Amino acid sequence: MEHRTYSYTSRVPDFQKQLPGGETSMDNLLDALRTTKTDFKRLPGFDPNVDEDEYHRAQQCIDCDEVFPRVYIGDGRSRLKKQFCASRLTAKNKEYLLRIGITHVLNAAEGKAFGMVNTDSNYYKDTNVKYLGLQIKDRLSMDISQYFYTAASFIQDACASGGRVFVHCVQGVSRSATCVIAYLMIKKAMLAKDAIRTVRLSREIGPNEGFLRQLAHLDNQLRRQRM
């Protein structure tokens, strides 16, 4: 009987590969947030040369920042609680969204409960806006990572088609920012700290610590895959 000798090459599983510079941690990402200063940027869609009271009031009812080409983050409610803003929430202000060329809306807080934004695809049915709703709660224990690739693909599709995407939650600080950061990591091959700095330069953001841990974990996964 013929005997064959097989040689086996020992391979270290991807999840055990040593990362240059060590593992990304939540503290690394907190440091990126704390050490990055947000620059002043004019509100998209408004002419700074127009000096009219009504025009200025309209701007006070909008919360929106372009944080990456064709990618905007905003809120689902206005910054002010004055009566003239009551019906002009940013995510619900279809006139404004269309004015700045928004073709896609990602609601990272879809729902009717407190802390959620009650919109869905039906809300935008009288426009050509494509909608994605994610029912994410802004809690430390929330598994937002299950939505990372879904959100990243939606944002990528918007930009690749020449459109613009408005990503929002309630305040445009934690859930929506985390989705955009994940997009920059997955689709633009940014390190987590660089993605955070990119968004932070254009908008005051603050993903909760549970979300930062999950972004750190994603960063380590992506870094190993790209080794």
User: pLDDT (tens digit, 9 = 90+) per residue, 133-184?
Assistant: 999 999 999 999 999 999 999 999 999 999 999 999 999 999 999 999 999 9
Rounded-to-integer distance, Cα 70 and Cα 162, Å: 8
Residue with tokens 């859930």: 175
pLDDT beyond 50 at 82: no
Q: Say which DSSP state 40 is in.
A: P
Report the candidate in 153, 149, 115, 119 with the shortest Cα–Cα distance to residue 133. Answer: 119
What average pLDDT score do residues 35-59 get? Answer: 83
Rounded-to-integer distance, Cα 141 and Cα 107, Å: 20
HSE-CB at 227 with a 13 A cutoff on CA atoms is 16
Tokens matching residue 73 = 């983050």
Active site residue 169: yes
What average pLDDT score do residues 74-103 get? Answer: 74
Check residue 10 and give its pLDDT: 41
- Considering 64, 159, 169, 179, which one is annotated as catalytic? 169
| pLDDT tier for residue 85 given thresholds of 50, 70 and 90 | low
Query: pLDDT tens digits, residue range 7-41?
Result: 333 444 566 779 999 999 999 999 999 999 999 88
Contact between 189 and 119 under an 8 Å Cβ cutoff? The reply is no
